[in-house]
A and B are shown apart, each in its own frame.
Chain A
Amino acid sequence: MKYLAVLLICCAALSSARELPTLKIGDKAPEFALKNYDGKEYSLPALMKEHAINVVMFIATQCPVSNAYNERMEQIFETYSAKGIGVVAINANKEEDVAAITAHAKEHGFRFPVLKDLKNVIADRYGAQVTPEIFVIVKDGTVAYHGRIDDSRKADGVQSRDLALALDALLAGKQPPKTETKAIGCTIKRIASN
């Protein structure tokens, strides 16, 4: 029996059951229709009609890493919305309700929408694990960049502005220099049934 248990561990997936598969580069981005904290609905099909490139950012109100990027996310919105790119944030944390999202967005002066993903349905479909975590979706609906905003939690330590570099490349009709990046962040707090 002991050997069977060991064998089962050996053959099981390395990750625990709570981790869902994350979209890969070139995968079709699942559609969503979610409400902003002001009640207005945003859907991926509508965003794609309006913008050839869309940035979807999974963020949180309480995560210190996500919060370290508040200003940088605003800068991304300011710079790239002016170039025709759509920027939306999604909050999938079970502990952060619309009231908290509203207060957080107002406190930090977000001009981009922050959509509430109730029961983390969209986070599950994208396989988003961490905040902040970025997916860039291009005209054909596929993921062209996935990962971090940049390589430093401290704004004064940034050496590689990965998201900006990816967006610049895509605007120029090129492949991003890096399509997948990773960073330490907070786990997205999911509902228990998932």
Chain B
Amino acid sequence: MSIGRLFVSLILLAPPAVLRAQTPADTLPVVRRIAPADIAPILAGERGNVVLLNIWASWCKPCMEELPFLSALRNELAGKRFTLLLMSDDDGGAVDSLVRPALRKSGVSFPTYNLGGTDDERLINTVDSSWSGALPATFLYAAGGRLTLRLVGGRTKSEFLDAVRRLLP
């Protein structure tokens, strides 16, 4: 048997899960697993830009409603000194099954993060100790890195846009 035929045979005999794992579309957008302690360095790396940090989850209906607004906002502000950070707090095991499909459905193609959903209190106290923990939650940082606004509950694109534009040069 030639190498080519052997390869085709192996592909045909492979279980569906193996074939699915090899589909590039399934691994996009990139979702990087992080811990709450990683948030500060990520924000520090964005100094100089106005940053909108959105914490969401696939199980949260208002989160899912506002994700397309955020994605559109990022497109609208392309070229400005602006960064959108999306961090899902879904279980780490749900990245392939829930997080990426939710992102794709919302038009998100850029890299995002997953917090794993296991250390709520540390996450809350790391981001903003005055935050109740209610999702969705969006935090607006000025270009110098100072947290200036917390938006809890589902918001519209114009609410996000107005808040960001006030801080853009």
Contact = CB atoms under 8 A, between A and B. Distances in A.
Say whether A and B bind each other: yes
Interface of A: 5-6, 9-10, 14-16, 18-19, 22, 62, 64-65, 129-130, 133, 148, 151-154, 157, 181-189
B117 A184 contact: yes
Nearest to B119: A151
A76 B54 CA distance: 33
Contacts of A64: 59-60
Contacts, number: 84
Interface of B: 57, 59-62, 89, 91, 117-118, 120-121, 123-125, 128, 130-136, 147-154, 166-167
Mostly, the A contact residues are loop
Contact of A187 (B120, B135, B150, B167): B135
28 contacts: A5-B166, A6-B167, A9-B167, A14-B147, A14-B150, A15-B150, A15-B152, A16-B149, A16-B151, A16-B152, A18-B153, A19-B150, A22-B132, A65-B59, A130-B132, A130-B133, A151-B120, A153-B117, A181-B121, A182-B120, A182-B133, A183-B120, A184-B57, A185-B135, A186-B134, A187-B134, A187-B136, A187-B154
A94 B3 CA distance: 64
Nearest to A67: B59
Contact of A10 (B117, B124, B148): B148
A130 B137 CA distance: 12
A130 B132 CA distance: 7
Contact of B152 (A18, A151, A153, A157): A18
A118 B101 CA distance: 36
Contact of A9 (B128, B132, B149): B149
Contacts of B123: 184
B148 A186 contact: no
A154 B124 CA distance: 18
Given A183-B121, A186-B60, A187-B135, 11 more contacts: A9-B149, A9-B167, A15-B152, A64-B60, A151-B120, A154-B91, A182-B120, A182-B125, A184-B57, A184-B133, A185-B135
B96 to A, nearest CB: 18
A186 B166 contact: no
Contacts of B151: 16
A186 B135 contact: yes
Contacts of B57: 184
